[in-house]
Each structure stands twice: as C-alpha cells, then as structure tokens.
Amino acid sequence: MVSFEKTLTAVVAGLLVITLAALFIVTREQRGDFKLAFLDVGQGDGTLISFDSKTQMLVDCGPSRTVLQGLGRRMSFFDRTIEYLVVTHPDLDHYLGCIDVLERYRVERVWWTGRNNANDPQWQVFKEAVARESAEVRVIDRVEQHDIGETVIDVLYPDHPVADEKADDNNTSVVMRVQYGALSTLLTGDAEEELERHLVQEYGARLRVKILKAGHHGSNSSSIQEFLDTVAPEIAVISAGKNNKYGHPTERVLRRLERLGATIRRTDLEGDVVYYP
C-alpha cells in the first residue's frame, strides 16, 4: 500500500513538473507581446510577425510545407488564423509554402504586388487557394503606412505598379520597415542591387534599422556596400537552407557584414531566429 502511494505520488509529481515546464514554454512563445521570428523554412524566406497573441503577419512561406512546423512552434496551438499574409514576389521559395498555409489556417488578408508567374503551374494553384479562402486581397503598388496595434509597418516598395513591369521578379519584391518601440526591422524579400540602389536614393537614412533581413538569402547579387552602409544594421539575419546548392550566404556578403560590425544570424545554422523587444 505504501509502495503504491509512493509510486502514485512520484507519477503525480512528474506530471506536475512536465505541465509546469510546458506552461513556461507556452507562456514564453505565446505571450501577448510583440515577437519577430525568422522561421527556418529551408532555402527560402518565412518571417512571422506577432503583434500580440492573436494577431500575426506572415511574410513569405518558404518553398514547402515546412513553414507549418515553424508556425506550430511560434503560434498558439489554438490560434488557427493568420490576419495578414504577405507574398513579396512570385518565386517558389517564397510563396509555395503559402498553399499549405491557406489550407491549414484561416487567412484574412493577402498582400502581394499583383505580379504573376505565368510559367509556373504552382502559382495558379496558389491563386486558386487564395480565391477559395475569400481573403481580402490588397495589391501593393504605392508607399503606404499601416498601424497594427503598437506596430508601424511602412511599405517602402513597390512605390508604383509593378504587375506588368518588365523587370526581374526579385527587384519587384515588397520591402517593409517594421517598427515596434525601439525595435526596427527592414524586410527586403529578394531585393538585389538595382532595388537596393533605388531604396538608398529614395529613402536614405530612413532605411536605418536595428535588424536587417538580408536580401536574396545572402546572394552576391544583394547586400551591396552602399545599401549596407545606409541601413547600418546591428544585426543581419540570413534566411537560407543548410548546405544549399547556391552557396548562400556567400563569403563576400558575410565579409561585408563582418566589416560593418553587424552580428550575423543564420537560419541554416541556428534554426528559427527570434527576437522580443
């Protein structure tokens, strides 16, 4: 009898410890504060902005359903709604995972540039998924500001309609500056040299932020010196796949960031990179 009572007490105590540990993790990850998570989605981009415990913006979804695992890590199990889905441009490694997101979550708003990828059959599948969702669709074709709770989202690009523009898709990427208190972030999609120079010319010191999501996964085509000098980030986050075939991030870009004195964070080495104010 005594042995049974001791065993029962030990089991109950063990369950209590596990429950408290789980509650601590949930409280840390699902608390109501602002949170910025650069998700490990492999060779692609996926950034989750949590404005509070119930309102999120997902900027790109990576190349596969792996994004669902990231959302599972960073959102409450009971939260099945994403209020804002932003597709920076129609490249597979940025939008393909959004098809799975649209199937698993209620998506209220979709922001994109209106630019199509006619040569990619999966793009049509994505558009059909958006249509089924009956989400509010917003075409980004001008500079605009959105206040979401205590967070200010400045859409810096596209600053004109790019749906039919003859340009590289990377250089039509949605670029956003995100400000919550003292924490400022620049999200650049796959912006390359041409777009980076345009941003420097148009915005100058307004580009300065604490955290830069480096363009195009740390490719040589992005993160030019003039742009980095203007943004002057304390932290540079690179979203890339482990041992990817493109060699991202390149040594040249890493050296530029090191000379700048920026702390380099990489999803291919660390997994999710998360910031709280």
pLDDT tens digits, 108-150:
999 999 999 988 999 999 999 999 999 999 999 999 999 999 9
Q: How many domains does the chain have?
A: 1
DSSP 55: -
Flag whether 81 is in a domain: yes
Flag whether 45 is in a domain: yes
The 3-class secondary structure across 123-183, one letter per residue, is HHHHHHHHHHHCCEEEECCCCEEEEECCEEEEEEECCCCCCCCCCCHHHHCCEEEEEECCE
Flag whether 222 is in a domain: yes
Pairing assessment for the beta strands 35-38 and 47-50 based on DSSP bridges: antiparallel
Task: State how far the Cα of 219 lies from the Cα of 172, in Å rounded to an integer.
Answer: 17
- Give pLDDT, residue 22: 44
The structure's pTM equals 0.89
Flag whether 2 is in a domain: no
- Give pLDDT, residue 17: 44
- Give pLDDT, residue 27: 46
- Give pLDDT, residue 33: 85
- Give pLDDT, residue 7: 52
CATH number for position 117: 3.60.15.10
Flag whether 94 is in a domain: yes
Rounded to the nearest 5 percent, the helix, strand and coil shares of the chain are: 40, 25, 35
By CB neighbour count within 10 A (0-12 exposed, 13-18 middle, 19+ buried), where does 272 fall? middle
CB distance 208 to 234 below 8 Å = no
Flag whether 15 is in a domain: no
Task: Give residue 46's domain range.
Answer: 30-275
Flag whether 115 is in a domain: yes
In 3D, which of 70, 72, 120, 73 has the Cα closest to residue 95?
120
- Give pLDDT, residue 26: 46
- Give pLDDT, residue 218: 98
* 183, β-bridge pairs: 180
* pLDDT tens, N- to C-terminus, the chain (277 residues): 545 454 545 544 455 544 444 444 444 454 558 999 999 999 999 999 999 989 999 999 999 999 999 999 999 999 999 999 999 999 999 999 999 999 999 999 999 999 999 889 999 999 999 999 999 999 999 999 999 999 999 999 999 999 999 999 999 999 999 999 999 999 999 999 999 999 999 999 999 999 999 999 999 999 999 999 999 999 999 999 999 999 999 999 999 999 999 999 999 999 999 999 8
Flag whether 227 is in a domain: yes
